[in-house]
Chains A and B, each alone.
Chain A
Amino acid sequence: MSGLGPGDHACLVFDIPARRDALVLSFFEEGLLRGDGLVYVDSGTDGRVAADLSRRATDGQLIVIRGEDAYLQAGGFEPDRVLTMWGETIRTLRAAGFSSIRSAGGPPLALTCNGHSHELPDYERRAGELIAGRSVTAMCAYDMRKTDATALLGIVDAHPIVIYAVRPDGRLRVEQESPTRLHPRGWIDVTTLGSLVGPLSDALASGGNVEIDLRDVDFVDLGGWRLFVEAAGLLAEQSLDLTVRSAPEWAVSVLGMLGYGEEEGLILQ
């Protein structure tokens, strides 16, 4: 975590909570050493990280907020309200004498895999603007297995820095034949989709047209097709395309039924 500094807005994509907790603790270790103000958003943990930090922080140095309290204050997700809360939290720590602030944690499960998860990418963009130039370092943790994959692609895109703490998945191996060419093997469904997000995000960031070759993929579920549509949309913003090779013949008509048929930037071959 030593690479992160003031103004950085990083996304931590993980699949094992223990690995997340270790990285979050490492991130805060530096803050403790430097005397930073610390904000920990505690979602889906056993409480050990919060307890450890509370024991070691000085008076007023640490603010722990439950994920539900941070993101679902009014029962639902209201980005404006959450961003206002962040602004107030930063001011509170500044007033307590902490000129540099570190924040880590992430939204609760009730938000990452419900019908409002598609609002998270825009929220994260706005959060990045909020902390830019304010001596705040933020690391937003998202559970790859419990976040809607299409939303996760947008969330990753909204962060300038992305850290992947994800085990290789034997059910879906993704070979990067070049920075912009992906060759997945296995199947792409709700149980494996998260494994594709990392390589796909890297390919999207490479600045060229992207290709995904499905010749060794025996199944793609609706979530997989949605992920391709989302990726194509992100590329189209840069006047670039996503080509999906070896797509089944019926894919075009099924995507059309879903209203995805004329997506800009998506080429099925």
Chain B
Amino acid sequence: MLYEGTDEFLAAALPFVSDGVAAGDPVIAVAHTPNVAALREALGADGAAVELVESQDWYHSPGRAFGGFLGFAQANPDAACVRMIGEPIWPLGWEAAVAEYAHYESVFNVIAGEAPIWALCPYDTVALPDAILDHALHTHPEVCTYRGGVAPSDRFTDPETYCAHLAGRTVLPGVRARRFPVTHDLAALRRSVEQEAVHASVDPRNVGPFMLAVHEAAANALTHGGGDASARTWIEDRTFVCEIADRGPGLSETVAGYVPPEGEAHRGRGLWMTRQVCDLVEVQSREGDTRVRLHVRRG
């Protein structure tokens, strides 16, 4: 949904939400603060039936935001339709994170295709740069405006192709990295990476979950990585990064770890957990060269 200003946001979002309330659909609306305030006021008493959340309280990381929406759908398993509005705080200037949010928008088509989810994703055409609006047109099969018209997006690209495109664009920043061997002495790797994370001023409360993610990625590389795994760490403006690389057959860049584990299956839980606890996870996978980059915020 392309809009310019809160009035246009409201003109498009209010009917979507009100119709959902009238139909008895579970509705969640996550949007920028002025938009949430306008929606709350316009809904009046109906607002009590809608989960209204400001974006800064929801979009802590791509993985957690996406997991939150899936959790909302899973919490309403009997609903004929679950309606969602999701307006991220796009991390302008942090290319890897922008690409990852675009990746999630694309993957959402796969999830929504298998579940009764109806999602409306607002894009502020004044505030957002062209590159992000271009992502929007590639990741949403339909585009609408406040005038109510819905038209197919002629730039929409199937998720597998677009996710591969996004992953392929990722480049290693020009930084000096420290290298560590990944062997069966995983404790030694954990000690080394943890030391680097502390040195990089990662919040001590985040070090434990981050090290769990590092360990699981390294163990996975040892098991499936064709016997040649390695680790690198470096510091970026916002984050401390640990990259685990291996030469195994790789994994799906499209949906790997984006969907929560179900039932008794234990496989796949590691990458799902990793996407939940890290501030950003990048996966690049080509035959014989798979790289998983785990980011955790500094300071």
| Partner-B contacts on A (CB < 8 A) | 115, 118, 148, 150, 171, 187, 189-191, 219, 221-222, 226, 248-250, 254, 257-259
Contact = CB atoms under 8 A, between A and B. Distances in A.
Interface in B183-213: 184, 186-187, 190, 205, 208-209, 211-212
B205 A249 contact: yes
B266 A226 contact: yes
Given A115-B265, A219-B211, A221-B215, A258 B187 contact: no
Contact of A250 (B208, B264, B269): B208
Contacts of B273: 222, 254, 257-258
5 contacts: A148-B266, A219-B190, A219-B215, A221-B212, A254-B209
Secondary structure type dominating chain A contacts:
loop
Given A115-B267, A187-B187, A248-B208, A221 B272 contact: no
Interface residues of B, number: 26
A258 B205 contact: no
A150 B265 CA distance: 12
Given A250-B277, A257-B276, 14 more contacts: A118-B266, A189-B187, A189-B215, A190-B186, A191-B186, A219-B187, A219-B215, A221-B219, A222-B270, A248-B208, A250-B205, A250-B209, A254-B209, A257-B272
B216 interface: yes
B67 interface: yes
Interface in B247-299: 260-262, 264-267, 269-270, 272-273, 276-277
A219 B211 CA distance: 9
A236 to B, nearest CB: 16
A219 B265 CA distance: 23
Contacts of A118: 264, 266
Contacts of B261: 258-259
Contacts of B209: 250, 254
B219 A254 contact: no
Nearest to A117: B266
A259 B216 contact: no
A76 B166 CA distance: 37
A148 B265 CA distance: 13
Nearest to A220: B212
Nearest to A186: B187
Contacts of B269: 222, 258
Contacts of B260: 257, 259
Contacts of A258: 261, 269, 272-273
Contacts of A219: 187, 190, 211, 215
Given A118-B264, A258-B272, A259-B260, A190 B208 contact: no
A219 B186 CA distance: 11
B26 to A, nearest CB: 20
Contacts of A187: 187
B186 A222 contact: no
Nearest to B219: A190
Contacts of A189: 186-187, 215, 219
A226 to B, nearest CB: 6
Contacts of B276: 254, 257
Contacts of B211: 219
B212 A254 contact: yes
A118 B59 CA distance: 36
Contacts of A222: 212, 216, 269-270, 273
Nearest to A251: B208
Contacts of B190: 219
B216 to A, nearest CB: 6
Contacts of B272: 257-258
A190 B50 CA distance: 44
A257 B70 CA distance: 12
A131 to B, nearest CB: 26
Nearest to B209: A250
Interface centre among B184, B219, B265, B267 (most CB of A within 10 A): B219
Q: Ordered nearest first, which 8 A-B pairs have the shortest CB separation?
A: A257-B276, A250-B209, A248-B208, A250-B208, A258-B269, A190-B219, A221-B215, A115-B267
Contacts of A148: 266
A257 B216 CA distance: 15
Interface centre among A148, A221, A226 (most CB of B within 10 A): A221
A102 B187 CA distance: 42
A248 B265 CA distance: 25
